[in-house]
Amino acid sequence: MATLSELLHSRTALGDAEVEWLHLLVGDWQLIADLSFADLVLWVRPATRTTGRDGTAGTDGTAGPWEAVAHVRPTTGHLVFVDDQVGRTADGEHVGPLLDEAAAEQRILRVRQVEVPSDTGHQSVREEYIPVVREGSVVAIITRHTNLWTTRTPSRLEITYLATADALCRMVSAGEFPHSTAPTGLRRGAPRVGDGVIRLDIDGIVTYASPNAVSALHRLGHLGEVVGASLAQLVTDNLRESYPVDEGLPLVVTGRQPWRTELAGAGTTVSMRAIPLTEAGQRFGALVLLRDVGELRRRERELMTKEATIREIHHRVKNNLQSVAALLRLQARRVPEGEARTALEEAERRVGTIAMVHDQLSQGIDESVDFDAIVKRGVQAIVDVSSNGAPITTSLEGSFGRLRPEDATALAMIVSELVQNAIEHGLGDSGGRIRVLVERLSDERGRPMLVVSVEDDGTGIDPERPPGSGLGTQIVQSLVADLQGRIAWEPASPRGTRTRFTASLRPLP
């Protein structure tokens, strides 16, 4: 199914500004649906599509039948439509003329009652047609569908919710909602209607507070009456000097600006959002949503602590490995030239390779590592140490991508050993070129795998020293087997050696 943006751009002649306005509306209209206890459907008037002589598509400026491009259901009451209404057209229905009338007159139309099919037969539904206005022009229509499933006397909560929803609908029809300047914070825990609702008058006095809102304020430390009190004074009286205060708090508790904030106190945290209510551009009150997010923030802090601990562990492991490598280097300097010194130097290099993986892991909080950065650093370090001044160029073709730490450590050791062997036994003192070619595929079971080749343009395979006879190649073969892969050595074209291996990877978390 196409996204809202794709539907609006492909089916209508709306400009970018109008499309963005509808995105803002749809991003916030769950609020209206919950306050209304009703389904909302967004209708647009598609432009008739044309095809030019050159085959290009366009619009001829005329409008087709109204089409539903978005639908939201209430989380506070009985829904009307079980099936999603996106894609439904109003052609030939009673809905079409009413949509036209609401758009032409730019006013809210209220239809007393209609019968809508349901799973159990038919249900009585009240329909309303609300023009979506931006800068004086109608860009869409919202239909509000309320299930008249009961005739009982509504509670004060329901009356307040419905009155607030009506005020927001009037703001939509006047082009005063949504608020384009409202922040869209990325932190989890944004308050919703079911979490707690407070109505303020123009002076910031609480005229209504839902039971959940009262409970949230009680958890902040306020045990007195809420209705009739100034929300700003109530919050100020319960502030703790030890807790930081957000600069946006005064804007929220007075309801003067569409803003969000969080208030910490008494061992909990309350997220607050203010939505000014206006009529003809004049503010007459505000809606404030509250949510107790103390437990959510506590878990986030625990997670951040664990992530910091993991980074610190990787950092310390890296430091310890570097210390081991330094000790091996010092020991190698005390050993005369020969096999013993060579063995210590190779051990130092291998420990340093593992340290690079932990260094990369300590840079972030993901349970994976960017292996391309490790390969580039590792290959360059080996060339700098082992080339003895010979001109050697290296290249990485393809991408390893992100890998699990277990796979990254083994692959770093494999590539390091293969590059070292290519320099030592292939290029020698004459120099040359080393290429690392990577292809990321999926095996027959759909699991990720790598096909890696390390090529050099050196002297080629020595028949008197076949692959697998040295300690380095034995290490490589063992690590490749651990990765459920295979490895082979073969002559490269026009000269040199190609080492090709496969490796099965663990899925990323």
* Residue 392 main-chain phi, psi, to 5 deg: -125, 130
Cα–Cα distances in angstroms (integers) from residue 258 to residues 12, 197, 208, 287, 290, in the given order: 30, 15, 19, 10, 14
Beta partners for 293?
none
Of 370, 480, 349, 372, nearest to 424 by C-alpha is 349
**CATH superfamily of domain region 193-292:** PAS domain (3.30.450.20)
* Helix, strand, coil percentages, rounded to 5, for the chain: 40, 30, 30
Q: Where do the structural domains in the chain lie, given as residue ranges?
A: 4-173, 193-292, 295-365, 368-509
Take residue 297 and report the two structure tokens written for it: 């923030």
CATH classification for the domain delimited by 4-173, as one of 3.20.20.140, 3.50.4.10, 3.30.450.280, 3.40.50.620: 3.30.450.280
Of 343, 300, 352, 298, nearest to 324 by C-alpha is 352
Q: What is the pLDDT of residue 60?
A: 45
Equal CATH topology for 4-173 and 193-292? yes
Residue-by-residue pLDDT tens, the chain, 509 positions:
678 888 888 888 899 999 999 999 998 999 999 999 999 999 998 875 444 444 444 444 456 789 999 999 999 888 888 888 898 888 666 788 899 999 999 999 988 677 776 655 677 888 999 999 999 999 999 999 998 876 567 889 999 999 999 999 999 999 999 987 776 554 566 889 989 999 999 999 999 999 999 998 888 888 888 999 999 988 888 776 556 667 778 888 999 999 888 887 767 888 889 999 999 889 999 999 998 887 777 776 676 666 666 667 767 777 777 788 788 778 778 788 777 877 787 777 777 777 777 776 776 666 778 888 888 888 888 777 766 667 888 888 888 888 888 888 888 888 888 888 888 777 777 778 888 899 888 887 778 888 989 888 887 777 666 666 677 778 888 888 888 889 888 888 878 888 889 888 888 76
- Cα separation, 272 vs 190, in Å, equals 8
Distance in Å from the first CA to the final CA of the chain: 28
* Residue 51 main-chain phi, psi, to 5 deg: -125, 120
Beta partners for 498?
455, 490
Confidence (pTM): 0.62
Of 172, 117, 114, nearest to 148 by C-alpha is 114
Of 212, 211, 214, nearest to 231 by C-alpha is 214
- Cα separation, 413 vs 400, in Å, equals 14
CATH topology of domain 368-509: Heat Shock Protein 90 (3.30.565)
Q: What is the pLDDT of residue 209?
A: 94
Return the ∠ at Cα 491 (arms to 485 and 495), rounded to 5°.
Answer: 140
- Cα separation, 68 vs 355, in Å, equals 57
- Cα separation, 260 vs 273, in Å, equals 4
- Cα separation, 36 vs 167, in Å, equals 11
Q: Specify the length of the chain in residues.
A: 509
Q: What is the pLDDT of residue 67?
A: 92
Q: In the Cβ-directed half-sphere of 130, how many Cα atoms lie within 13 Å?
A: 27
- Cα separation, 462 vs 424, in Å, equals 12
* Residue 213 main-chain phi, psi, to 5 deg: -65, -40
| Cβ atoms 71, 36 nearer than 8 A | no
- Cα separation, 33 vs 146, in Å, equals 10
**DSSP letter, residue 430:** G
